[in-house]
Amino acid sequence: MKFSLLIPTKNRPHMLSTAMKHIMNQSYENFEAVIVDDSQDRNEEMISLSSKDARVKYIYRHGNGIGSAMNDALRAATGDIFNWHNDDDFIAKRTLEFVAKNIGSAEWCYGIIIIMNRLRIPIGKMGRPLDYEVEKGHSTIPQPAVFWTRKAFDTVGFFDESIDHVTDHEYWMRLGAAFEPKFFRKIFAYYFVHEDMGSKKFPELKTEQFIAVREKYRNVVPQYTARRRT
């Protein structure tokens, strides 16, 4: 079982370097890190790392937003299981090993993230079992803690490039409509809150896109949810 960790990044080389250290120290070694870099300059450290370690793929480009970056990463990925791992996320120790052992027949799964402030002090956590109706109006799925299979990707397709602030939320709605996820009460990742976050820089646009996604999925009822109600 091979993991593809999809890592979009832009002008944050120090954050990316730290994130990569956590990835490269995973106990489970059958993975690839697919870095899609929209920065002004190429990241020489990542170029060097990719030349030394075949598990690291570095793609430098000038693209059109996060959805486009994620789709480029998906096109380059060769793994069986995908994870969206931002440059300001830290993957927890032994997470890949745990998912490999426990995902079973599920087509996607997720765990808990610890939220940290700019001083790297924990200030909260996020992650709960999926309630699809609740998810329509309130994002509860922690993006860096989600893993989905190639079958799931083949079913729901690429990311929506017209949405650049709730791209992950819209994708989880598609996954949740098609497959019931496994939720693990286990820390999978650490999420860093800082002033350069898109949600802090463009809150009104994020709210607008969130409302649009909610309306898009308003009448969607997953089959597994419908079965449980009968």
Query: 130, 119, 106, 157: which is closest to 1 by C-alpha?
Result: 106
* % of residues, the chain, pLDDT over 70: 94
Q: What pLDDT is recorded for position 66? A: 92
Token pair belonging to 214: 């909610």
Whole-structure pTM value = 0.93
Confidence of residue 207 (pLDDT cuts 50, 70, 90): confident
Mean pLDDT of 189-216: 80
The average confidence (pLDDT) of the chain is 92
Better pLDDT: 6 or 223: 6
Q: Is the pLDDT of residue 196 over 80?
A: no
Query: pLDDT at position 99, please?
Result: 98
Is the Cβ–Cβ distance between 63 and 38 less than 8 Å?
yes
Q: Compute the distance between CA of residue 199 and CA of residue 167 in angstroms, rounded to an integer.
A: 12
- Please give the pLDDT value at position 164: 84
Q: Which domains does the chain have, with CATH numbers?
A: 3-229 (3.90.550.10)
Percent of the chain with pLDDT over 90: 80
Cβ burial of 70 (10 Å; 0-12, 13-18, 19+) is: buried
210: number of Cβ within 10 Å: 18
What is the arithmetic mean of pLDDT over 101-119? 95
> What's the pLDDT tens digit per position in 134-192?
999 888 999 999 999 999 999 999 999 998 889 999 999 999 999 999 999 999 999 98
Residue 72: CB partners within 8 Å, gap ≥ 6? 36, 59, 61, 63
User: Would you place residue 200 in the very low, low, confident or very high pLDDT band (cuts 50, 70, 90)?
Assistant: low
Look at residue 223 in the predicted model and tell me its pLDDT: 86
What confidence category does residue 204 fall into, taking pLDDT thresholds of 50, 70 and 90? confident
For 49-68, b/e burial (b = at least 16 CB within 10 A) is bbeeeebbbbbeeebebbbb
